[in-house]
């Protein structure tokens, strides 16, 4: 979950509520909240609710719950024009934006803007790869604006928090943001300029110092660029609703002559039958409508209108979940299942007793992973199942092997008493799902003989017909690894982990390991 911090005073600027009531209500609504030592509130926000990644979003959740009425926003007609040039088509093709006028800047709003940009970049934006956001003082530039791509040395401007002009090449080499996100751009660099040639932004790297927000800023221009039309639009909707909650007036822009629609509602059928079936409670139409209203939805007759800032409703079940949240999970009466089932032993069950007897401890790691971890382990790059909307890059794919997870755990446990012997049985995708067992041992004398002995002991106990054949494999030292065959079919590999792999996982002791399909 993403962590959001703000003061009680910041929250009370937006909604009249006491501290205890705010903590209890948010926790009950699925946003676990606690008071920190410095007095601030810490709110845990699930990945499916990026609209609540700011104090304004949290206050909106509370207002809807307390009033039973959805938030209302008026949208002004476009006055600002943006031209998106064809040169960005193969660089960073998607552009979205809006204008919000009459914003009253304050310390709490500045803090909130900085925090929501950071959180949206990390989550919805996939560390700026999918979405990058810029918020500018509109009074310092002259529309219309142009979004285009140029060479690394073709232009120069003063980047945020700097005093002298820099070219894109210099920014990517010297500016902290440029160094950190240089991998997101190639030889062509996206730029946003005004009608006088002033540079507002070099997305997704850095904004210009010219349009930096100050206490005097009132009219704001939002630029959002990326690779996903849907994610860019979601980010714009979240930002304009946030600023409107602070008193701003939302205004559309035109992009290449067409208005860019904001906060469009999506209509769904009122899920009465689905709610009663999945939740096991007789509710009725009026009750379901009332519960959904508490979560910010607008209900008219048999239709549910989901607000444009809610990105998480993609199926009827999501509406049913909101019904359950508003109803209150503590209000459901527990009951025994109506179906009777008979358990069976999982295929890897016998492994546990043997490995525990050999001195191994079981670990459980995430099945979702970062593809870079498998690459660091020098495993063959097989086609992985990609996750459509992960919280971070660390959960971008379904893992293709368990061994990298074990090496990561060993790296985090290197200060523990040696030897450390661990194993895990679980699912991988290659790309079809299959069950695997992986084991690893770390201590100064870890060797091929040790891991071979563990594999053979396991095979003998479980009745496997195992053959060990000499074969080289990426993660292991050449000549100190082998393939494992079970019943005449190749089922895995084992060996001593190579020194460069150990360094990659911050390991200082020898490691021997194996991975077997079971």
349 pLDDT band, cuts 50/70/90, is: low
One domain, residues 398 and 475: yes
Q: For 38-57, how does the pLDDT look when each residue is reduced to its tens digit (9 = 90+)? A: 999 999 998 889 999 999 99
CA distances from 410 to 359, 360, 452 (A): 16, 13, 20
Sign of the alpha-carbon dihedral angle for 7, 12, 15, 16: positive
Q: Are residues 278 and 184 in the same domain?
A: no
Q: What is the DSSP string of 99-139?
A: EEES----HHHHHHHHHHHHHHHHTTTTTTTSEEEEEEEGG
Q: What does the H/E/C string look like for 389-439?
A: CCCCHHHCEECCCCHHHHHHHHHHCCCCCCCEEEEEEEEEECCCEEEEEEE
Asked if residue 363 is part of any domain, the answer here is yes
CA 104 to chain centre: 31
Same domain, 198 and 321: no
Provide the pLDDT confidence category of residue 202 given band limits of 50, 70 and 90.
Answer: very high
Distance, CA of 47 to CA of 389 (rounded, Å): 9
Choosing from 23, 47, 67, the residue where a domain stops is 67
Residues 99 and 7 occupy one common structural domain? no
CATH number of residue 512's parent domain: 3.30.930.10
Q: Is residue 418 part of a domain?
A: yes
Q: Are residues 450 and 368 in the same domain?
A: yes
Domain membership flag for residue 206: yes
Within this chain, do residues 37 and 105 fall inside the same structural domain, yes or no? no
Q: What is the pLDDT of residues 214-225, one digit of tens each?
A: 999 999 999 999
Q: What is the pLDDT of residue 59?
A: 97
Are 409 and 415 spatial neighbours (Cβ–Cβ below 8 Å)?
A: no
Strand order in the sheet with 476-486: 361-362, 420-429, 433-442, 511-517, 489-497, 476-486, 466-470
pLDDT at residue 344 tops 80: no
Residue 211 sits at the vertex; the CA angle it makes with 207 and 215, to the nearest 5 degrees, is 120
> CA-CA distance, 489 to 495, in Å (whole number)?
19
- End-to-end CA, the chain: 33
Residues 137-155: tens digit of each pLDDT: 999 999 999 999 999 998 9
Are both 201 and 289 inside the same structural domain?
A: no
Output the pLDDT for position 350. 75
Same domain, 14 and 120: no
Q: Are 288 and 266 in contact (CB under 8 A)?
A: no
Confidence at residue 347, expressed as pLDDT on a 0 to 100 scale: 57
Mean pLDDT over the full length of the chain: 93
- Which of 338, 347, 395 is closest to 370 using CA atoms? 395
- Residue 119 has a pLDDT of 93
- The pLDDT confidence band at residue 371, using thresholds 50, 70 and 90, is confident
Span 492-502, mean pLDDT? 95
Q: What is the pLDDT of residues 236-257, one digit of tens each?
A: 999 999 999 999 999 999 999 9
Q: Smallest Cα–Cα separation from 313: which of 265, 243, 273, 244?
A: 265
Considering the domain boundaries, does residue 336 fall inside one?
Answer: no
> What percent of the chain lies above the pLDDT cut of 70?
99
pLDDT given for residue 214 in this prediction: 93
What is the rounded average pLDDT of the residues 114-125? 92
Q: Where are the alpha helices (DSSP H) in 245-348?
A: 272-279, 285-294, 316-327
Chain centroid, CA 309 distance in Å: 17
Report, as an integer, the average pLDDT of 370-397.
Answer: 82
Q: Which 3-state string (H, E, C) describes 94-110?
A: EEEEEEEECCCCCHHHH
pTM more than 0.85:
no
* Section 89-103 average pLDDT: 97
Higher-scoring residue by pLDDT: 391, 84: 84
Instruction: Give CA 129 to chain center in angstroms.
Output: 12
Does pLDDT of 30 surpass 90?
yes
> pLDDT tens-digit profile of 158-193?
999 899 999 999 999 999 999 999 999 999 999 999
Coil, strand, or helix at residue 511?
A: strand
For residue 343, is it within any domain? no
Q: Which of 439, 449, 420 is nearest to 508 (CA)?
A: 420
3-state SS assignment for residue 227: coil
Question: For residues 158 and 208, is the Cβ–Cβ distance under 8 A?
Answer: yes
In a domain, 390, yes or no: yes
Whether 36 is in a domain gets the answer yes
Distance CA 206, CA 3 (A): 24
Do residues 175 and 270 share a domain?
A: no
For tokens 């409703």, what's the residue? 313
The number of folded domains in the chain is: 4
| 114 and 248 share one domain | yes
Sign of the C-alpha dihedral computed for residues 461, 466, 472 and 478 taken in this order: positive
Secondary structure of residue 13 in the 3-state scheme: coil
**12-20 contact pairs (CB < 8 A, 24+):** 13/108, 14/55, 14/56, 14/59, 14/60, 14/63, 14/245, 14/246, 15/59, 15/62, 15/63, 15/66, 17/62, 17/66
**Domain match, 87 and 232 both:** yes
What is the average pLDDT across 7-20? 95
Residue 1: its pLDDT value, please?
A: 74
Looking at 228, 259, 290, the residue that finishes a domain is 259
Question: Within this chain, do residues 304 and 170 fall inside the same structural domain, yes or no?
Answer: no
| Domain boundaries, position 56 | 2-67
Q: Is residue 479 part of a domain?
A: yes
Between the CA of residue 13 and those of 44, 213, 330, 373, what are the distances in Å?
Answer: 20, 21, 30, 44
Give residue 63's pLDDT band: very low, low, confident or very high (50, 70, 90): very high
> What CATH number is given to the structural domain containing 273?
3.30.56.10
Residue 368 to residue 180: CA distance in whole angstroms = 24
pLDDT of residue 348: 57
Last residue of a domain, one of 67, 83, 113: 67
Query: What percentage of the chain reaches a pLDDT higher than 90?
Result: 85
């Amino acid at each position: 979950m993403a962590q959001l911090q703000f003061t009680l005073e910041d929250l009370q600027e937006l909604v009249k509520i006491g501290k205890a009531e705010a903590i209890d209500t948010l926790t009950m609504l699925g946003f676990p909240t606690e008071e920190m030592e410095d007095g601030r509130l810490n709110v845990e926000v699930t990945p499916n609710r990026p609209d609540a990644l700011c104090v304004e979003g949290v206050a909106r959740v509370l207002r809807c719950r307390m009033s039973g009425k959805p938030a209302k926003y008026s949208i002004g007609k476009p006055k600002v024009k943006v031209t998106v040039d064809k040169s960005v088509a193969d660089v960073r093709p998607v552009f979205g934006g809006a204008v919000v006028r009459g914003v009253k800047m304050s310390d709490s709003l500045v803090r909130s803007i900085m925090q929501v940009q950071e959180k949206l970049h990390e989550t919805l934006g996939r560390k700026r790869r999918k979405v990058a956001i810029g918020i500018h003082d509109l009074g310092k530039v002259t529309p219309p604006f142009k979004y285009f791509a140029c060479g690394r040395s073709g232009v120069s401007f003063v980047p945020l928090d700097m005093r002298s002009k820099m070219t894109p090449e210099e920014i990517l080499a010297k500016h902290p943001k440029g160094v950190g996100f240089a991998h997101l751009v190639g030889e062509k660099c996206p730029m946003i300029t005004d009608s006088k040639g002033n540079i507002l932004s070099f997305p997704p790297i850095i904004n210009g110092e010219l349009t930096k927000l100050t206490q005097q800023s009132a009219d704001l221009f939002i630029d959002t660029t990326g690779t996903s039309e849907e994610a860019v639009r979601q980010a714009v909707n979240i930002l304009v609703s946030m600023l409107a909650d602070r008193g701003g007036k939302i205004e559309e822009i035109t992009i290449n002559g067409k208005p860019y629609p904001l906060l469009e509602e999506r209509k769904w059928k009122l899920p009465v039958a689905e709610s009663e079936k999945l939740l096991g409670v007789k509710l009725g139409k009026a009750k379901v409508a009332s519960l959904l209203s508490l979560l910010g939805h607008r209900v008219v007759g048999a239709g549910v209108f989901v607000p444009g800032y809610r990105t998480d409703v993609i199926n009827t079940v999501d509406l049913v979940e909101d019904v359950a949240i508003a109803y209150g999970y503590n209000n459901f009466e527990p009951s025994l299942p109506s179906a009777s089932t008979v358990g069976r032993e999982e295929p890897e069950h016998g492994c546990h007793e043997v490995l525990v007897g050999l001195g191994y401890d079981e670990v459980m790691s995430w099945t979702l992973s970062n593809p870079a971890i498998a690459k660091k382990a020098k495993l063959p790059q097989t086609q992985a199942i990609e996750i459509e909307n992960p919280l971070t890059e660390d959960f971008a794919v379904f893992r293709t092997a368990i061994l990298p997870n074990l090496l990561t755990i060993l790296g985090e446990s290197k200060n523990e008493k040696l030897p450390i012997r661990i194993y895990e049985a679980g699912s991988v995708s290659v790309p079809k799902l299959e069950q695997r067992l992986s084991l690893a041992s770390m201590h100064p004398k870890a060797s091929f003989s040790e891991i071979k002995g563990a594999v053979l002991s396991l095979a003998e106990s479980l009745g496997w017909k195992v053959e060990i054949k000499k074969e080289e494999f990426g993660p292991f030292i050449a000549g100190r690894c082998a393939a494992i065959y079970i019943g005449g079919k190749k089922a895995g590999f084992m060996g001593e982990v190579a020194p460069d792999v150990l360094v990659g996982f911050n390991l200082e002791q020898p490691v021997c390991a194996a991975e077997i399909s079971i």
